[in-house]
Amino acid sequence: MVAVPAHRKAMTGLLLGDHNLSVERLRYATRYRHAVPREHRLCRFCWAAIEDEVHALFNCTGTPRLTEFRSQFLEALKSIDSGTWDSYMKLSNYNFMLKILPSRKAVALYAKYIYQVLSVFDETPRYLPVAFRIPN
Torsions phi, psi for 133 (to 5 deg): -80, 145
Task: Report pLDDT for 25.
Answer: 97
Task: Report pLDDT for 47.
Answer: 96
Task: Report pLDDT for 136.
Answer: 77
- Please state, rounded to an integer, the average pLDDT across all residues of the chain: 96
Within the chain, what is the greatest distance between any pair of CA atoms?
A: 54
Res 125 pLDDT > 80? yes
Task: Report pLDDT for 1.
Answer: 86
Average pLDDT value for residue range 106-126? 97
Q: pLDDT tier at 49 (50, 70, 90 boundaries)?
A: very high
The full DSSP string for 9-20 is: HHHHHHHHT-SS
Task: Report pLDDT for 48.
Answer: 95
Task: Report pLDDT for 10.
Answer: 98
CA gap 77, 45 in Å, rounded: 25
